[in-house]
Amino acid sequence: MNDGEIIELEATDKSLLAYIDGFVIDDDKFFIRSRGEVFAFDRSGRHLFNVGTRGRAANEYTQADCIFMRGDSLAVFDWQARRMLFYDTDGGYLSNMTINGSEDEYPCRMIPLSSGGYIVENVFNGVPGIITPMFGRMNDDFGYEYSYSGFNRKDGYNQGCLLAGKENTLLYADFFSDSVYRAAPDSMEIALAYRIDFGKHKLPESLKQGKDTYELFQTSNTEEFTDNIATNVVCCNETADKFRFVFMFRKEVHYVEYDKKSGGVSTIMIEDPEGKLNTTTGLFTYYAEDGFYISAKSDDIDSNPVLVKFGYDVFE
């Protein structure tokens, strides 16, 4: 599959991005989080403006760690300053509020739920003897309600796949894993949702033993690994009928749809359209109502990531 709509994000002195770390679509605008800042582009990729600036004033953030829409406002979460800032969709500052949390239960990312409230990812505090729950639940007023059992943070590395789909649940897949877990709003524990069958290309458990996340990333850069292992589930999505995700294998991106009613699985390789999408670095996927966007940044430090949009009808 190589017939996606290519959207080149304009690279100017004010809009030079690194990897895309957050993405929000609101009507005719893309809001993108990169380098700890927030940038606005139109749907053709033209840079419009930057949302807020870095600083410590009431209308500034030390670092944008998470973005999402809250009603008609764009919310920017700054976990270092423990503040939520709100901007209108033209970039104008509206207000801010302090977010409280304990030392061992404090979020760095928030995922809004359509039923209200948020599922959050907690920050690893690095204090010996204190166990940090990986995920928790906050109410509409950003009050921390409880932590999910089942997963604790053992390091400071941000996890890979973290997304709330239409099913109003959090989907989580760790790096180098073939398992996808779900945290539902009405539950206090994380349960196994899907197990991906990579067959002979599954990452052997013997390769994981004794290695932390950083060591596994070093291993994954070897040619032997990239030619034989296909276990990095990236950015999955769930609706009432479908479960979707992408994964890397042999330096190519593969898109998967699982039909929850029929049990059928369809997989397709996404090629590099017109040489614009370098899928071997900084892979990012965002699922919208009318299709999904894949992005990756090339090695050219003076260029921006390229977005490629594909429709959900790719198997028809």
pLDDT at residue 154, rounded to an integer: 72
Q: How far apart are CA 91 and CA 86, in angstroms?
A: 9
User: Which tokens in the block code for residue 176?
Assistant: 């180098």
The three-state DSSP-derived secondary structure of 211-249 is: CCHHHHHHHHCCHHHHHHCCCEEEEEEECCCEEEEEEEE
Q: What is the tens place of the pLDDT at every residue in 148-189? A: 887 887 765 555 555 555 556 778 887 778 888 887 767 788
**97 or 189: whose pLDDT is higher?**
97
234 forms beta bridges with 246
Q: Which of 241, 273, 270 is nearest to 257 (CA)?
A: 241
Q: How far apart are CA 52 and CA 64, in angstroms?
A: 10
Element at 206 (helix H, strand E): helix 205-208
User: Which tokens in the block code for residue 192?
Assistant: 């196994």
How do strand 22-26 and strand 29-34 relate by DSSP bridges?
antiparallel
122 forms beta bridges with 107
pLDDT band at 274; cut points 50, 70, 90: low
SS3 193: strand
Longest dimension (CA), the chain: 54
Task: Report yes or no: 313 and 28 within 8 Å, Cβ to Cβ.
Answer: no
Q: What is the tens place of the pLDDT at every residue in 32-60? A: 999 999 999 999 999 999 999 999 898 99
Please name the amino acid found at residue 36: G
pTM for this model (two decimals): 0.88
Which of 41-50, 105-114, 208-217 has the highest mean predicted lDDT (pLDDT)? Answer: 41-50
